[in-house]
Amino acid sequence: MLVPNLSSPRMSSHTYDEMTGQDGGIRAHYSAFANWLDNTDATRIAQKREEAERAFHRVGITFAVYGENSHSDTERLIPFDIVPRIIPADEWEVLETGLKQRVHALNLFLADVYHEQRILKAGAIPAERVLGNTQYRREMAGMDVPGGIYAHIAGVDIVRAGAGEYYVLEDNLRVPSGVSYMLENRKMMMRLFPELFATRSIRPVQHYPDMLLENLRGVGPKSVENPTVAVLTPGAYNSAYFEHAFLAQQMGVELVEGQDLFVQNDTVFMRTTRGPKRVHVIYRRVDDDFLDPLAFRKDSMLGVPGLFAAYRAGRVTLANAIGTGVADDKSIYPFVPDMIRYYLAEEPILNNVPTFMLYKPKDCEYALANLADLVVKEVHGAGGYGMLVGPASTAEERASFRERILAAPEKYIAQPTLALSTCPTFVGAGVAPRHIDLRPYVLSGTDIDLVPGGLTRVALREGSLVVNSSQGGGTKDTWVLA
Amino acid sequence: MLSRTANELFWMARHIERAENTARLLDVTYRTSLLPYQPQEPGLAWAEPWAVPLISTGGATTYYKTYPVLAAENVLRFMILDAGYPSSIYCCLRAARESARSVRGAITSEMYEDLNGAWIEMRNYDYQRLQGIGVSEFLDWVKMRSHLFRGVTFGTMLRDEAYHFIRLGTHIERADNTARILDTKYHILLPSAADVGGAVDYYQWSSLLQSLSGFEAYRKIYSDVITPRRVAELLVLRDDMPRSLHSCLKLIDDTLEILCDDHSKELRRQAGELYARLHFGRTEDIMRYGLHEYLMDFLQRIYVLAAEVSARFLVPTY
């Protein structure tokens, strides 16, 4: 049962499997695990899988919205698969260097577009793509942020295609989530199968909360020696609430909602039982629009009136900064390699997926003629919604997308359909290959750092390329080998 | 600690305690309703046993908006299962669980799992199922879940600020509820003045004692017939009776001593004053003043104290 069924009809010959090579042999970095899987009793594995599910439920590592009147169990569990995604040391080294380079350039880009706009003046990126972007926050123009860092936490989505080469699919620079699953998955694997870790060749990730806290404390307002950090959540009904509570608890800082904070003389305070207590750094998991009803959406109940003024005055640091969306927008994504060349004078280490920008008539024409082969995405879409996967689409779906594209081509991009790599995964019938991606979490503060690994998401439906948890995705532990 | 966190913990504790005491109140009503009873004047609905829980919890107006007539089944539906009446047992458990969920980091996982379990069970009850297992059995279940949660709290929680706010909530609610349950006797009319001290009177007092877990204690302490004076002494002034007003106020006063700093002198004073009234109070003074009047005055004072706690710690106005 351990050898993945490579003859599945969906599996075309150019899909890269993480564990098994084209010749059917086990790749070297998977050999120890494959051995273990071979020699471990199937009943024990089944037992352990059940144990994992029970444990996740009890601890309440849940996701999705809790419905007030619903009797159904709406606090859902993200399925966890016990076959790890393993990355060999040399591959990780490339990924790590490439990620640091990329996030470094993205932060320089953000600092630039909110100040001198050198890159626009140099013509490396069309100015109207940036300044006319709904994600560009005029309020941030000319404002300095500590260390010039905008994206303190970046979740960069990476996939691997047919020949085994890595691509960056998306830079998430607003409020990327999922890191709690990375941590809980590792904890679960160590608890279920401690013998797998006995060789001590798997690099640890559990220090992420410490790194995050250090990182946040390093970007406090000037002249504050011992900054107080808080995590700002939209509240218990938010789909990622578990993660917010988890990170606050792991860092040993307060988890606050908008109503817990107030601003006086451009200074942010928490309401505590011992009176007001000043907050210096806010790791906010609330979107830009909802942060401050005085500066942004007036109907926001989640924000803190006056927060933006305090931020502008340099009395509090927000992580991530406001306005980072202009750098991870899908219409800006095609320019990231140019940013790296422009700011760092280096060649990009990580590949971008070739992208057609449908506001360009030629690109649009090509895309419309080849809808069946392409993936079409909304520029501002997220979560795997508003997306057409050409090869898996019906003629009606393509016709409807064609109309939507013609009505507003600037709202769409198109990319070739990547044959995402697969990883063996437990499914109803046994172990079978399923498509995966990878989201490492890059922290920027006084320096740029990341823990070895990230969150591996897996599309549990056969042949599906959509790994998002809202659409039937699961997760795996990610091992970077020492 | 965040004021919101303290507020959620305080109300989590109050809601669990309220669910328990609502169960106690319904229990005494249920027992009383089994005694022979003839209305003195037809139409005097408020004198019915089933009107008592509505009057003493202040829910009568809300009740009559939904239910046109006073009937045992309706009162049980209203006070146990009504998802629209905030003091129903259903709503109390839901609110307690929601509070716990929103401040999970401040309580132990055992506490959350216990409360979550109680709520999941509660969700499965409808009137039919309630009848199926029997009203008394269900009310015992509610009391038991409350005992269990208190035990888990006591046995697993760090003695930090969070713990003290939970204790504060529990005892403020209990003081209020004990006073209300004790006052129910005032509302249950006896068939005639000649029945004072008679059999029905006796049964009413003894079921009231039982509902407050005081029957066995009464027997142990007094070894004598049940008299209103002694019941009042037991449930108001005895410091060794865990549901008495005196016991509650002692715990409230002690807890506030831990929680208060120099900025909360007025709160300390109010709690100390109320505690002193019970600590140094005399039964004969209470009886002379009138038990009902005394309890009404107490309810007002505990209300003011809770409001002061709220303004000082939980929902600060700065």
Could you report the per-residue pLDDT of A42-89, keeping only the tens digit for each?
A: 899 889 888 888 887 766 666 543 333 343 445 667 889 999 999 999
In angstroms, the separation between the Cα of residue B137 and the nearest Cα of chain A is: 24
Decide if A348 contacts A101 (C-beta within 8 A): yes
The rounded distance, in Å, linking the Cα atoms of A93 and A308 is: 39
Phi (first) and psi of residue B295, to 5 degrees? -70, -40
Tell me which of A34-38, A69-73, A416-420, B133-137 is least confident. A69-73
Predicted local distance difference test score (pLDDT) of residue A70: 40
Residues in chain A with CB shorter than 8 Å from the CB of B112 are 60
For residue A242, give how far its alpha carbon lies from the nearest alpha carbon of chain B (Å). 10
The pLDDT, as a whole number, for residue B191 is: 57
Label residue B299 exposed, middle or buried (CB < 10 Å: 0-12, 13-18, 19+): middle
* Each residue's pLDDT tens digit, A357-375: 999 999 999 999 999 999 9
Q: For A108-149, what is each residue's pLDDT tens digit?
A: 999 999 999 999 999 999 999 999 998 999 999 999 999 999
Nearest residue on chain A to B104, alpha-carbon basis: A245
CB-based contacts of B203, cutoff 8 Å, min separation 6: B31, B32, B35
Please state the rounded mean pLDDT for residues A146-158: 97
**Helix spans in A163-229 (H):** 179-192, 208-217
Asked if A273 lies within 8 A of B2 by C-beta distance, the reply is yes
Best probe of the B interface among A184, A243, A246, A271, by most B CBs < 10 A, is: A271
Chain A CB contacts of B161 under 8 Å are 273
pLDDT tens for chain B, 318 residues: list them: 999 999 999 999 999 999 999 999 999 888 888 776 655 555 444 457 888 889 888 899 999 999 998 889 999 999 999 999 999 999 999 999 999 988 888 899 889 989 999 998 999 999 999 999 999 999 999 999 999 999 999 999 999 999 999 999 999 999 999 999 999 887 766 656 666 677 778 888 888 898 899 999 999 999 988 988 999 999 999 999 999 999 999 999 999 999 998 888 999 999 999 999 999 999 999 999 999 999 999 999 999 999 999 999 999 887
Cβ atoms of residues B245 and B298 within 8 Å: yes
Phi and psi dihedrals of A87, rounded to 5? Answer: -120, 125
Q: pLDDT band at residue A95, thresholds of 50, 70 and 90? A: very high
Mark yes or no for CB contact A235/B109 under 8 Å. no
Query: Residue B38: what pLDDT?
Result: 58
One-letter amino acid for residue A14 of the chain: H
pLDDT at A382 over 70: no
- Residue B152 near chain A (CB below 8 Å): no
Are the beta carbons of A285 and A175 closer than 8 angstroms? yes
Q: Name every chain B residue with its beta carbon within 8 A of the beta carbon of A273.
A: 1-3, 6, 161, 165, 259, 313-314
Decide if B2 and A254 are in contact by the 8 Å CB cutoff: yes
For residue A383, what pLDDT is reported? Answer: 58
In the predicted model, what is the mean pLDDT of chain A?
Answer: 89
Within an 8 Å CB–CB cutoff, is residue B159 touching chain A? no
Residue with tokens 């989530």: A177
Average pLDDT over residues A233-245: 89
Model confidence at A238, in pLDDT bands (50, 70, 90)? confident
Q: Is the bond leading into A320 cis (omega within 30 degrees of zero)?
A: yes
Distance from CA of A83 to the nearest CA of B (A): 29
Residues of B numbered 235-274 whose beta carbons fall under 8 angstroms of chain A's beta carbons: which are they? 259, 261, 263
Measured CA distances, B235 to B21, B215, B230, B293 (Å):
14, 11, 9, 15
Whether A71 has its CB under 8 Å from any CB of chain B: the answer is yes
Distances (CA, A) of A460 to A239, A348, B194: 20, 32, 79
